Chain A
Amino acid sequence: MAAKVRIKDQWKEQRLFEQRSVIGGGIIAALTVLLLARLVTLQVVRHDYYTDLSQGNRVRIEPLPAPRGLILDRNGTVVAENRPAYQLELVREEVPDLGDTLRRLAAINLIPTDDIDDARKLVMSHRSFDSVPVRLRLDDEEIATFAVHRFEFPGVDIRTRLARSYPYGALAVHALGYVGAISEQDLGHIDRAAYSGTTLIGKLGVEAAYEKDLHGQNGSREILVNAQGRSVQRQGAFVPNLRTVTPVAGEDLLLAMDLDVQKVAEEALGDRRGAVVAINPGNGDVLALTSRPGFDPNTFGRGITRVEYKALLDDIDRPLFNRALRGTYPSGSTIKPAIALAGLVYDVVAPTDHRFCAGVYRLPGSSRMFREGRSGRHGSVSLVDAIARSCDVYFYDLANRLGVDRISTFLGLFGFGNITGIDIGGEKPGLLPSREWKRKAFSRPQDQVWFPGETVNFGIGQGYFLVTPLQLAHYTSMLANHGRSFKPRLVSGVRDPVSGTIRRFAPEKGADITASPGQWQIVMEGMEGAMRGRGTAAATAGRNMTYDIAGKTGTAQVFSVGQNEKYNEKTVPERLRDHSWFIAFAPAEAPRIAVAVLVENGGFGSTGAAPIARKVMDAWLLKGGGA
């Protein structure tokens, strides 16, 4: 048959269908079992695993930054604090047109036009729903301006946040330092985990040196978030027990500094460039430390603008430069008391020895003339006179007899050529020359030799010898203390912000210099003599003393005067004029303060620097400081 004719068999088809249905039912049952097995695996066997995952999904840890410790002066005046600051914050996803919004904010002077690009980058680097500060520290007027325009700026609002504030602005900025945004460099040496949530970090001075104490311990808070990472407030059983770790506030720092003394020092320096360091010789407390000009640290905390920072960097007066710690200058005659003491200790000069000063010194067998710095000739001078009247010729001779090795060794005992170890960073060691130093410092063999003439100059603090104002203050404090030294310190203790418990640091002893009381007496007399009668500072710092001062002027050459020329202040451009030094301690019989003052291009020590030192000492002593 060509085609097998098939007839529909209803009954058979029914059976076939039922058979297939049963198979289908079996497959359905099998698949259902498979599905249920899968569900049991997920919900029973691996339940804990998925519970952890779901927990991790919805709980985010949000850091709670610890309030930074306050900084107080020795009288309890707050010099660095945390104040609520109003800042302009922007949420990108709520802003219709970011570029346009920023331009319009600039148009009403809420952000600087130059900063629009930076602000845009900052906003774009955050998640779209993050509230990003585009302008920190709004003042009242700016807040009012924004309030008027608020409706024009959806997604922009004013928020309050704790910011570092320095109520006295530039006052003591080179001692206190400042805080600024954490940089890549900072990240290298901090524990990132401990700093999550912290936005500002100490950059210089006390703020940087005591960062650990000030920072405290950040806390954290677990928050509920949705899939977009947004914090959500929900009630119900799935809200887990969200833990909060309370932050521990940083410790308050108690400065050794006396704000009154500091203010006087800064005001006395005024617009002049220079530095003042005042130390309590009895324990190393830094009563004042200033470097002028300074800058307002608040600008860094609020986010310094490009223009502002460039202005600071380009300023010819270098306001960012800490002259007190990092400025190295020839000591000038301020070193003479140490040279005199060296002469006594090494027994190359007797207290009764007189020299005749004819205004010029010649090394034996040499025609080179070393001139008296200022006042022609002193005639016959004793060691005490030589200090009091700063006779260069006497010290030329003394230096020559001591020799460079002994001078260098002895000055080293006062800490020159080394950092003083003050409790903030950035200190420069200055330069203490020696034969060995010269051998290493110069490449040409003829330059590597130490010349006798260089020793002569060394004796009056000129030549290679370089010191910082801090070193000179430390040295003065050692003189005041008859050779006993303490490490200078800006911070004398810490206070627990919660309990108020104060922990004082013990003064840290340094290496001492031993000389006999008689030898010290000669130096003291010389320095006291400088303030009286024919002394170099008698007419300036020494006028109307109500307590005894021991001081020494100094003049550091910036510009070399030729062999046969005379230095004339009026003919030399201001920035090439001599630096003016003055060191002093008082009361002379029981010193409570030792001061070093530097005025750049200030001319003679007695006129430029000495009056400032006097004001600083008055500020401290007349109110009974250190008594």
Chain B
Amino acid sequence: MTFGSIDSSYTRRTLTSSARALASLKVDGPLLVGLSLIAIFGLIVLYSASGRDLATVLKSATRLGIGAIVMLLLARVKPGFLRRAAPAIYVLGILLLIVVDVVGYIGKGAQRWLDLGLFRFQPSEIMKLAVPMMCAWYLHERPLPPSPGDLLVAAGIVFVPAALTAAQPDLGTGMLIAIAGVLVMLLAGLQSRVILVLAGVTALGAWFGWSFLHDYQQKRVLTFLDPQSDPLGAGYHIIQSQIAIGSGGVFGKGWMNGSQGQLEFLPERSTDFIFAVIGEEFGLVGLVLLVLLYLFVVGRAIYLAMQTQETFARLLAGSLAMTFFVYVFINAGMVSGLLPVVGVPLPLVSYGGTSMVTLLAGFGILMSLYSHRKLIRS
């Protein structure tokens, strides 16, 4: 079924020039279009969310540009090379994480990045890609569904960097790293009973882990459960973002006319809470449109993952696709009050951070994995 369509599209000799160009760049057209639409929408919103600060928009556009270049470059890299490089990248990432933790410990405070002079570099961002790559690499040679022993090793691969990141402390990113790795295992065909057991263990771990959370992290969870308990403190974010979204209604208050955002009632309006700005200014229509764009990208990414033929490629591509959705859902869920507040930006829209580059790098890898597949099944 699906194969036929690919064969036909690729074997057809009446490719348009742009399609040919994309093909030679190893770039997936629909995915590129989807990502571009989101990015453009994001920049438009950012102009409003930053208080009409063109400089912010330009900076963000520059980051998107860098991300796009990284994406195009990675799209050309052969999957085999990526697979072979996975362990090296992973080990390097772990080392950098340890360095950051040590520096942070010495500096007595949260430390998430390394100052490389020219720019700040967040090693945990690498791990968002390195962990699923490493997991996929490990499971690539092994028969699937994975054996208990393989699972243990894979779990270790996931746990170490996730724990190191959470210790920075950056619980949000640590969690995202873990999710990326776990998704690889799930896609590898983790048995249902193992999933159930793991779910139980996770619940238990969460219960134990509670005591290890920092005060502010505990507070975030508690205020998520009851935002009104601390309306001017930790609950303020959630309350104000819900007011922003709710008051936007179906059609919104109009671009640059959202009072919650423009009058700064909404905290972190251009970064983590930009979803609320969209809700306020573009209403339900704007949010649904954005969610549909994200769904299109995720759907296309999963579709591409399913087209790949190697285990490594499949697992990695599938994980990257689904992780992207997880990002979207966690951010949107947090801003709309479905989930507790964790510092996860809205992919490709939120201002700042190296996450934009990481995300596009992930899509570059995904395109590479897809476009370098063998056309005829061996």
Q: Which residues of A contact B (CB under 8 A)?
A: 6-10, 13-14, 16-18, 20-21, 24-25, 28, 31-32, 34-36, 38-40, 42-44, 46-47, 49-51, 53-55, 57-58, 224-228, 232, 234, 236-238
Contacts and interface: CB of A to CB of B under 8 A. Distances in A.
A21 B257 contact: no
B306 interface: yes
B247 A237 contact: no
B98 interface: no
Contact of B264 (A13, A54, A226): A226
Contacts of A44: 249-250, 284
Interface stretch (B107-115, B208-216, B297-305): B297-305
B345 interface: no
8 contacts: A10-B309, A32-B329, A38-B336, A42-B279, A43-B283, A54-B246, A234-B263, A238-B253
Given A57-B263, A237-B257, A40 B284 contact: yes
B189 A238 contact: no
A24 B249 contact: no
Given A24-B302, A226-B265, A227-B265, A43 B259 contact: no
Contacts of A9: 143
Given A35-B329, A44-B284, A53-B243, A238 B262 contact: yes
Given A58-B265, A227-B264, A232-B263, A51 B336 contact: no
A291 to B, nearest CB: 53
Nearest to A234: B262
B244 interface: yes
Interface residues of B, number: 57
Interface of B: 141-145, 147, 183, 186-189, 240, 242-250, 253-254, 256-260, 262-265, 279, 283-284, 287-288, 291, 295, 298-299, 302, 305-306, 309, 311, 314-315, 318, 322, 325, 329, 332-333, 336-338
A39 B288 contact: yes
Contact of B291 (A13, A36, A226): A36
Q: Chain B contact residues: over half helix, strand or loop, or mixed?
A: helix
B243 A24 contact: no
A16 B144 contact: yes
Contact of A57 (B141, B243, B291, B325): B243
Given A21-B187, A24-B322, A57-B243, A35 B338 contact: yes
Contact of B246 (A50, A226, A234, A238): A50
Contacts of B302: 21, 24-25
B314 A14 contact: yes
Given A16-B145, A24-B302, A57 B257 contact: no
A49 B246 CA distance: 8
Residue of A10, A40, A54, A236 with highest tally of chain B CB at under 10 A: A54
A14 B308 CA distance: 9
Contact of A6 (B143, B257, B279, B298): B143
A517 B14 CA distance: 133
A50 B299 CA distance: 33
B257 A226 contact: no
B243 A21 contact: no
B322 A228 contact: no
Contacts of B240: 57
Contacts of B322: 24, 28
